[in-house]
Amino acid sequence: MNSEKQAIATLAELGFSDLEAAIYSFLLQESPATGYRIAQALNKPVANTYKGLSALAAKGAVIIDDGETRLCRAVPPAEVFGQMERALTQRCQRATEALSRLNTAEDDGRVYRLQSVEQVMERARQMIRSAKHVLLVSAYPAPLKEIRDELESAIARGVGVVLKVYEPTQLKGAQIIMSNEAATLMEQFPSQELNLVADAQEYLVALLDRDGSRLIQAVWSSSLFLSYMQYNGLYSEWLLTRVNGMIAAGASSESLKKTIRRSFPLMETPGYHRLRKELNGNKNK
């Protein structure tokens, strides 16, 4: 695909019609130009071309001279897409506010498959933003990079972050350990993982390809029982990795005993309290 065809295809993904994309691409290279000249160059009907120019002007992608010639000039892409991004953000915010006023369906405890890397990362960000007590995270480099800012924000508001990583990482305020098998896994395992549990009441497990750009499989659930189990398993894995590292470094038995005491006991999490309440309710029925 040549550069112009690729540009037109990219614009189509952003909501430009084929004609609008062709006009805009032409004007980026040939501004200023009259509508008639554009129509001739693109071999399009003049009336349709003027309609396309009007649509582009409404999008903020084209500016038109006020003089008799009505010369048209393409607005630089960075400016056009900056306008579009701000407008989309505002529309999304209005929609979010309107939809948040609806009665939201209760969690159903089912396990759901996620369909894309983007969906996985946005779900992970939302989980981190809503966490109140503790986040357990095991993350390879690519997914960790995507959620790092949200983890920093969570730490700043007092949420505990227990993090297992696969390359040296600094995250102030987090309790971090590096996998004992990081080098082997990063070299031999043809994928990247993200495991995340928020407050022992929802969890996300995702497997990406080696560079983190394609999703292989991912599931999310707000099942209290499964989240409780994931929390317990992920914390135990983190703790075992830490203890193994300390043993290898010659730590004393006293320091090992102190380490084994959990910083974030499962019984203190919101998920545990909700699960216990739910189970007690079922028992009393």
Answer yes or no: is 178 within a domain: yes
Residue 168 has pLDDT above 80, yes or no: yes
Burial class from Cβ neighbours inside 10 Å (0-12, 13-18, 19+) for residue 175 reads: middle
Residues 115 and 51 in one domain: no
- pLDDT tier for residue 123 given thresholds of 50, 70 and 90: very high
Residue span of the structural domain in which 166 resides: 111-283
Six-digit token string for 94: 């209005």
Domains in the chain, number? 2
Task: Identify the residue with better confidence: 5 or 17.
Answer: 17
| Final residue in a domain of this structure, among 65, 80, 95 | 80
Residue 148 has what pLDDT? 96
Answer yes or no: is 76 within a domain: yes
Residue 265 has what pLDDT? 75
Task: Identify the residue with better confidence: 31 or 146.
Answer: 146
Residue 272 has what pLDDT? 86
Residue 285 has pLDDT above 70, yes or no: no
Residue 105 has what pLDDT? 63
Residues 125 and 9 in one domain: no
Residue 284 has pLDDT above 70, yes or no: no
Question: 127-147: per-residue pLDDT in tens?
Answer: 999 999 999 999 999 999 999
Residue 95 has what pLDDT? 87
**Over the chain, what is the mean pLDDT?**
88
Question: 212-262: per-residue pLDDT in tens?
Answer: 889 999 999 999 999 999 999 999 899 888 888 888 888 888 887 777 777
Answer yes or no: is 87 within a domain: no
Q: Which of 176, 194, 198, 175 is nearest to 128 (CA)?
A: 198
Residue 283 has what pLDDT? 64
Residues 138 and 273 in one domain: yes
| Final residue in a domain of this structure, among 62, 80, 98 | 80
Answer yes or no: is 105 within a domain: no
Residue 278 has what pLDDT? 84
Residues 132 and 252 in one domain: yes
Residue 103 has pLDDT above 60, yes or no: yes
| Final residue in a domain of this structure, among 29, 62, 80 | 80
Q: What is the mean pLDDT of residues 96-115?
A: 80
Residue 163 has pLDDT above 90, yes or no: yes
- pLDDT tier for residue 189 given thresholds of 50, 70 and 90: confident
Burial class from Cβ neighbours inside 10 Å (0-12, 13-18, 19+) for residue 177 reads: buried
Six-digit token string for 217: 């499989």
Q: Which helix (H) or strand (E) holds 205?
A: strand 202-209
**CATH number for position 30:** 1.10.10.10
Residues 241 and 160 in one domain: yes
Residues 151 and 21 in one domain: no
Q: What percent of the chain has pLDDT over 70?
A: 95
- pLDDT tier for residue 116 given thresholds of 50, 70 and 90: very high
Answer yes or no: is 130 within a domain: yes
Answer yes or no: is 88 within a domain: no
Residues 202 and 66 in one domain: no
**CATH number for position 175:** 3.30.870.10
Residues 51 and 166 in one domain: no
